[in-house]
Structure 1
Amino acid sequence: CNEGTKVYLRVGGDIYYDPSVSEPLHDLLLIAGGIGINPLLSILYHVRDLITLKEKGNLEGDKLIPQKVLLLYSAAKQEELICKNEIEKIVSANGQIKCNFYVTQAESSNGLKAGRICEEDIKESFNWLNTHQTKTYICGPPPMITDMEKLLIEQGLDKKTILYEQWWTSAETS
């Protein structure tokens, strides 16, 4: 990029977590593939901050805080799991937050599961989360988003409770 080069910026995104006290209590499922962790990490930080405010007595209304949060986060290799240590700190400090890490191009080790997030992982998620009160956010490669949405609907989630971010489309590259 040189001085005078035209650049295009896009701010914001299509998914965000903005709970309301008028909404029913809910669980939160976050599914990230690769760099798709970024918007979901913002949601995780927001939930962490809401929990902290509640613990300090500076937040009224339990409905703003999800009852349970599960992050399923996949990357090719362990070193590509952005903010893994920070996520682990959040999980260890909050009993209502869990995370499963997946690596697609490495062996299972140190709490990492080998392979992609699959149907069995989605099914296991609902051993902890309540299927009928879970909001789901997905961000990652388009084929992953399509696959995860299909699996979630097969598990009984309402399509309206599944939100996703797709930041790369052919229209944006022109």
Structure 2
Amino acid sequence: MGSYKPKYKARLRKKEKIANDTMAFYWEKPENFTFKAGQYCDMTLIKPKMTDEEEKERALSVASAPYEENIMTATRMSDSTFKQVLKDFEVGTEVKFDEPRGEFTLHTRETTPAVFIIGGIGITPVRSIIAQATHDQLPHKLTLLYANKTPEDAAFMTDLKGFAEKNPNFSFVPVMTHANPSGWSGESGLIDADMIKRYVSDSSAPIYYLCGPPGMVKDMRKILMEIGADEDNIRAEEFKGY
């Protein structure tokens, strides 16, 4: 991913905690910075206070939609050098972005439904896709099964509920994997074939989008094949180390 030279500079406008150990960063959008909902780009730190050259650059999904004012990225925080530097950024700090890329974008065929099966911070590109589809009033039928340990771990819950209220074609199914989190009345436990079939009437019809930890992506792909999904209709991105 490091063969692209950064092309755009952007300043930090705001940062905030959006879930347990999860932060969002809002960057001013450089002139001529264009992308498709669901794409990612490399972000490079400028003169960071670190010695590890490998830790200056990370590929990050753009969590904001193209119509939104800022570029928003979100990440699970960890003790990695890159994330610790990012966490301490002050408003006005500048970074570099390269040209956005990636094929994890909404298909164009409006009559084919989309089903997103997402784990944790894998929600970042999907938030962008759902936001843009809602803004553009696309006719695609969209279903999102979004798995987290507890509600406190789930990023963008308010946004996603808001999109579901505005978009009659979008069904939002949050899933908590820890059994019976306190006060939780929605779906709980691991996403399995039975759960998918409760929300997807014809499992062979949709294009599926999988994003999350590698183990989850692998398991979901296997389950989808077992319930009759077309392998050519499964698109996946793995979020390693997040």
Fold-level match, TM-score > 0.5?
Answer: yes
- What is the SS of the residue equivalent to 1:131? coil
Paired residue for 1:73? 146
2:235 to 135, 138, 163: 163
Q: CA deviation at 1:14?
A: 4.2
User: 5+ unaligned residues in a row in structure 2: which ranges?
Assistant: 1-47, 61-99
Contact preservation (8 Å) 2:115, 2:207: yes
| Cα distance between partner residues in 1 of 2:186 and 2:214 | 23
Q: Select which of 206, 209, 230 maps to 1:134.
A: 206
Cross-structure match for 1:55: none
Match of 1:90 among 163, 182, 202: 163
1:53-95 deviation per Cα after TM superposition (whole angstroms, max 9, x unaligned): xxxxxxxxxxx641x1110001111111111011111111222
- 8 Å Cα contact 2:176-2:187 kept in structure 1: yes
Tell me, in whole angstroms, the C-alpha distance in 2 between the residues paired with 1:110 and 1:152. 27
Q: Which residue of 2 aligns with 1:2?
A: 49
SS for the counterpart of 1:48 is: helix
Report the CA distance between 1:4 and its aligned residue: 6.1
- 1:115 paired to 2:189: yes
Distance of aligned partners of 1:106 and 1:24 in 2 relative to their CA distance in 1, 3 Å threshold: closer
Which position in structure 1 is the counterpart of 2:135?
Answer: 49
**Higher RCO (C-alpha 8 Å, min separation 6):** 1
Residue deviations 1:80-117, cap 9 Å, x none? Answer: 11110111111112221111111122515444222111
Match of 2:223 among 129, 132, 151: 151
Percent identity of equivalent pairs: 24
Q: Structure 1 pair 48/111, CA: closer, same or farther in 2 (3 Å)?
A: farther
The structure with more strand, counted as a fraction of residues: 2
TM-score computed with the length of structure 2 as normaliser: 0.56
Amino acid at match of 1:81: A
Task: Please give the alpha-carbon distance, in whole angstroms, between the structure 2 residues aligned to 1:76 and 1:110.
Answer: 11
Give structure 1 regions of 4+ aligned residues with deviation exceeding 6 angstroms: none
Can you give the 5+ residue segments of structure 1 that lack an aligned partner in the other structure? 52-63, 170-174
Q: Which residue of 1 aligns with 2:15?
A: none
Do 2:221 and 2:234's aligned partners in 1 also have CA atoms closer than 8 Å?
yes
SS at match of 1:29: strand
2-side partners of 1:132 and 1:141: how far apart? 24
CA RMSD between the two structures: 2.3
Partner SS, residue 86 of structure 1: helix
What TM-score do you get using the length of structure 1 for normalisation? Answer: 0.76
- SS in structure 2 of the partner of residue 153 of structure 1: helix
Would the aligned equivalents of 2:119 and 2:147 in 1 still touch at CA under 8 Å? yes
Instruction: Tell me, yes or no, if the aligned pair for 1:76 and 1:103 is still in contact at 8 Å.
Output: yes
What amino acid does structure 2 have at the position aligned with 1:123? K
**Measured at CA, do residues 79 and 13 of structure 1 come closer, stay the same or move farther in structure 2, by a change above 3 Å?**
farther
Match among 105, 109, 130 for residue 178 of structure 2 = 105
Number of corresponding residues: 152
